[in-house]
Structure 1
Amino acid sequence: MNFDDQIRRYFGTADLAAVPPAALEAGIERMQVDLGLAQDRGERFALWAILQTLGASPDLDAVFKDSSERDAARNFMELMGGEAQT
């Protein structure tokens, strides 16, 4: 899953700075719906990670039922400079 491709898919451009606020909100909402429907672990993690960078990720326990997935998400958050959610 290529980051730029995902950003284009949900926001119509790879330049998030060019996305109007309403379109950003709509893209985030579509991404959250897709996250809820995703069955593939990798796809689910990638969608969550993008939402995390946008400040719109759901709680870890709601997304990742497996403790190893939650640990990976916490590691991602720490690497990105944010606090890990419990």
Structure 2
Amino acid sequence: MEFDDQMRRFFGTDDLGAVSPEGLASGIERMRVEFGLETDKGRRFAMWSLLYMLGSAPNLDVAFKDPQDGDAARTFMDLLDQANAGEADDRTP
């Protein structure tokens, strides 16, 4: 599942800045429900990743029963944290 496809599917746009707070909450709720029902590992990981970026991902031990999937999610979290730290460093005068 492509990132833009997820954005359009759950939020009606690929621009989160255009989504109202109510629309964001509603989209996150739909995504969490669909995440719980999804059986395809790749799609689950993609949804979890977007939920993580939105601050709404379920805990790893709940989201991923397979330890390798949990490790991949931890790696994603670390990479995202490093990227965000780099952006903060770029803004420091």
Equivalent residue runs for 1:13-52 within 5 Å: 13-52=13-52
CA RMSD of aligned residues (A): 0.9
The higher radius of gyration belongs to 2
CA distance in 2, matches of 1:3, 1:79: 17
The alignment covers a number of residue pairs equal to: 82
CA distance in 1, matches of 2:23, 2:52: 18
Give aligned-pair identity as a percent: 56
CA distance in 2, matches of 1:51, 1:4: 14
> Letter of the aligned partner of 2:80 in structure 1?
M
> Letter of the aligned partner of 1:3 in structure 2?
F
Question: What TM-score do you get using the length of structure 1 for normalisation?
Answer: 0.93
Equivalent residue runs for 1:58-77 within 5 Å: 58-77=58-77
Match of 1:9 in 2: 9
Deviation readout 1:25-82 (Å, 9 max, x if unpaired): 0000000001000001001100000000111000001110011100000000000017
Please identify runs of 4+ aligned residues in structure 1 that moved more than 3 A: none
CA distance in 2, matches of 1:41, 1:9: 18
* Structure 2 unaligned regions, length at least 5: 83-93
Write 1 or 2 for the structure with the bigger share of helix.
2
> Letter of the aligned partner of 1:25 in structure 2?
A
Question: What TM-score do you get using the length of structure 2 for normalisation?
Answer: 0.86
CA distance in 1, matches of 2:10, 2:47: 11
* Structure 1 unaligned regions, length at least 5: none
CA distance in 2, matches of 1:49, 1:5: 14
